[in-house]
Structure formats: C-alpha cells, structure tokens
Structure 1
Amino acid sequence: MMASRISAGARTLTTLARLFSSSAPPIQKRVLVAVANGSEELETVSIVDILRRTQTTEVVLAKVDSNEEASEEMLRSNALLNQMSRQVLIQADSFFKDLDHSEFDAIVLPGGLKGAEAFSESPQLVEVVKTFLEEGKLVGAICAAPALVLNKHDLIEKYEKITSFPAFKEQIVWSGDHNAEYLDSEPVAVSKNLVTSQGPGTSVEFSLKLVELLYDKEKALGVANPLVLKCSKEFYKQN
C-alpha cells in the first residue's frame, strides 16, 4: 500500500504544481491508455511519455482486470501494479472500470500478448473502443492489440488500412469481417480515426502520430525534435 500512497501523493503534487504555476499550459486533451498484466512495457511507456511531453495532454494509465491471479505478493498487495511482459512493474493511475470513459478524447491499447488478451476478454473495454470508433474519437492500437482486440471483435470493418505485429498478419488478413489493406512496410497505419502500429520499435513514431492527430504536425515535431529522433520519411511528410 505504501507504493500506492506514494504514487497518489506524487500525482496530487503534480496537479497542485500545475494549478499554481502561471507557466503551465492548460490541459487540452485527455487520453486513456489501457494496461494489464502482460502488457508490453516499452510500448506502454513510450505512449504515456510522448503524450505527456506535449504538456497539454492529461494521460491516465488505467488497469484492466485480468483473469490471471497475480503471482507476486507485491502485486497482490497493490492492485494497481502491473507485471509487464518482461517482468517490469508499472503502476497504473486508476482502474479502467472506475473511470468515466466519455470524458476522454482518445483511447490507446499497447500490445503484449497477455495484456492484449486481457483487453480482448474485457467486455467493458471492447464496448468503450467500439463507442469511440463510432463517435469518431481517436483509437490507437499497437503490436498484438490490432489483431486480438480490433479484428477479433470485428471493429475494423469500416477502415481501409491496418497494421500490427508481423506475426499477426495472417490472422488479420484471413479472418474478420473487413476489407482493410494490411500494410507490411509502414510503421504506422492511419485510417480515419484509427491508428495502428507494429511493435516496440515503432512505438515512439506511433505515439507521435497520436500527437499529430490529436493536435497537428507542428505539435508532433515539437515533441520529436528534442528527442533527437530519426523517424521514417513518412512521418516528416506534410499533409
């Protein structure tokens, strides 16, 4: 419980600092990032980090309940902790089930096999993703999530392009009720309000594309340039 209290205290101090700082820009967007035991840590951290670097995006990391019982005592004593795919421990800000999802402008699903399976097995999460897609809100999914959540639950039938972790290509191409073109060579696929990507190595560019679509290209470049980042040529194309 100590870790939980420390995390809550840190979030409170951050909020107070923003309130009393005249230089802190106002929050413009709210993004919900799902996480579960078995989520891919590099993807999860990249998404949260890049979005928070905008300084105008509130990012809430929300834990989705898993059917698997936590193996470590530490995880059982702090229910917000997640044991990621490579055993890194990451603490969520809240439980997915406790949030008012309608208050968010976007939802993002990291990959990781076990984590994506937990997302897929959550009727609430699937319904939230479906609602966001129907309402035109931004939805992002990377790695295993496009196949195990979007394709499995027939959520891509209205979209023209998709990508995922390469091992899931056949599953997406040959199953599901859709005509989306699978992009092998692009790190990020954008179709209307849906953004998909391939894996840990494409997670930063994926996250920057989310910034671009939430705001604009200038905002995304403003985040990318201080990272000394070499994105694909596609990222630097002007719309």
Structure 2
Amino acid sequence: MAQSTGVLVQKRILILLSNGFETMEAACFTEVFGWASIYGGIRFDQLSVGLRNPITTTFGFDVIPEALLGDVDLDDFDALVIPGGFGDAGFYEEALSEPFLDVIRSFDRRQAPIAAVCVSALSLAAAGVLTGKRATVYHQIGGARKAELESYGAVFVDAPLVIDGHVMTSTGPGTGIELALKLLEVLTSPGFAQELRERMRVPTPDAAWFQAAQV
C-alpha cells in the first residue's frame, strides 16, 4: 500500500462528536483505524471534533475533543464518522443543529465516505443526504426512529448495516465494529480489512447476521 517513493500514504478521518454521544460507537473506529495505522501501508490520522469543549457523553463523563468545529478545514479529511447517542443526554440538540448538518453536507458534496452509527443516521437524513437512499437506524417496537428517518425521504432497511453509495449506516453500538471495518475496506481494500479483522480477533458474522431484522 505504500507509494513507490517510499512515502507513507496518509488519510484523515474526522470523528464528529455531538454532546451526548456514545463512547463505544466512537471507540470502534479509533481502535480499527489505530490498528490499521500500525499494520498497513497507510497512516490514518483521526481527529475528534466537537461543537463544545468538554463534551458530556451519554452516560455522564466528559471527554475533550481534539479540536472545535470552527478550527478545522473539512476539505482536509477523507472520511466522516458520526457516533450516535441518547436524546435524554442531549444528543439531538447538537446532532440536528445546522453547524453539525453542514459538516455532513460538505462531505456529501464531494462524495467522501460517511459512516453513521445508530441514531446519527437521523443527522444524515436531516442534512438531506439520505433522500431516496437506503439506510438504517436504531429500530425498536413502535418504530419511532424508523418513522423519523422515513419522514426525511430515506428508504429504511431493517438490517444491521446498510450501504448506499458513499453513505454507510448501522443500527447500534454492537454494529459499530462492522461499520468501522467496512469503512476501512472502502479506504483500503477488502483483503486488508480482513487481515485486520483477524489481527484484532473480531469474529466474522455469518451471512444471516447481515440480514437480521432488529425487532
């Protein structure tokens, strides 16, 4: 994967954090791309970015983002990652705000990969990038989030991981590692993603897992 000049290829990933985000849904990506930087020919620089500092997570402890949104140039990044969170923790106050949605639109305009976990799919929908696209979201009995996703014009698919073009969505914390590995595959190759899965001892789900309904 290294260039013929011997210079290490570098890619940058922006991890966009809303107040009230779930740490596990961010950690899946930091782990996968951290390992990838060690074992592959590409160095992945990951930058956590928020609208405030500190950020309070879903379950109440504070994290310090590496940068504030106003201090970064979005065009410097190759992919966007958005963890989900809980409404009771204030997630939607920022995740549905215009500054947050404008980040998504910026990546979408240049067709850069976007990976959204759980209810952060609603941020993509609110940004207008899921209209007519297949996507998933955390789905429970009663289907409130499903209905919300569809209200923006998205085509809901009841599956753990859904990819439509450069946009990838998954349903919850337990699907985050698969979404991270899929993003790695897009940014490198299927072979390297499989190699890293094996190095990290992440079991490969069977085919039925990828088709399983949530409720």
Secondary structure, counterpart of 1:28 in structure 2: strand
Secondary structure, counterpart of 1:29 in structure 2: strand
Match of 2:153 among 153, 164, 177: 177
Shift of the alpha carbon at 1:32? 0.2
Q: Which runs of 5+ in 1 are unaligned?
A: 1-24, 66-78
Aligned to 1:21: none
In structure 2, do the counterparts of structure 1 residues 49 and 116 end up closer, same or farther at CA, with 3 Å as the change threshold?
Answer: farther
Superposition pairs for residues 1-239 of structure 1, below 5 Å? Answer: 26-55=8-37, 56-65=43-52, 79=53, 81-113=54-86, 114-121=90-97, 123-147=98-122, 149-159=123-133, 161-167=134-140, 168-173=145-150, 175-178=151-154, 180=155, 182-184=156-158, 186-234=159-207
* TM score, norm. by length of structure 2: 0.81
Q: Report if aligned partners of 2:132, 2:153 keep a CA contact under 8 Å in 1.
A: no
Matched residues, number? 192
Alpha-carbon separation, structure 2, partners of 1:83 and 1:27: 34
Q: Report if aligned partners of 2:74, 2:106 keep a CA contact under 8 Å in 1.
A: no
Shift of the alpha carbon at 1:130? 1.1
Percent identity, please: 21
Secondary structure, counterpart of 1:166 in structure 2: coil
Larger radius of gyration: 1
Q: Report if aligned partners of 2:48, 2:66 keep a CA contact under 8 Å in 1.
A: yes
Alpha-carbon separation, structure 2, partners of 1:27 and 1:93: 22
Query: Given residue 124 of structure 2, which amino acid in structure 1 is its aligned partner?
Result: L
Alpha-carbon separation, structure 2, partners of 1:231 and 1:187: 14
* TM score, norm. by length of structure 1: 0.73
Q: Report if aligned partners of 2:161, 2:179 keep a CA contact under 8 Å in 1.
A: yes
Shift of the alpha carbon at 1:177? 2.9
In structure 2, do the counterparts of structure 1 residues 158 and 169 end up closer, same or farther at CA, with 3 Å as the change threshold?
Answer: closer
In structure 2, do the counterparts of structure 1 residues 234 and 193 end up closer, same or farther at CA, with 3 Å as the change threshold?
Answer: farther
Alpha-carbon separation, structure 2, partners of 1:50 and 1:212: 11
Query: Given residue 109 of structure 1, which amino acid in structure 2 is its aligned partner?
Result: I
User: Cα deviation per residue 1:79-136 (whole Å; 9 max; x = unaligned)?
Assistant: 3x32210123322111122101111011111000333441211x23312211211211
Query: Given residue 136 of structure 1, which amino acid in structure 2 is its aligned partner?
Result: Q
After the TM superposition, which segments of 4 or more aligned residues of structure 1 sit over 4 Å from their partners?
Answer: none
Query: Given residue 48 of structure 2, which amino acid in structure 1 is its aligned partner?
Result: L
Shift of the alpha carbon at 1:234? 4.7
Shift of the alpha carbon at 1:158? 4.7
User: Cα deviation per residue 1:209-228 (whole Å; 9 max; x = unaligned)?
Assistant: 11011111112112211222
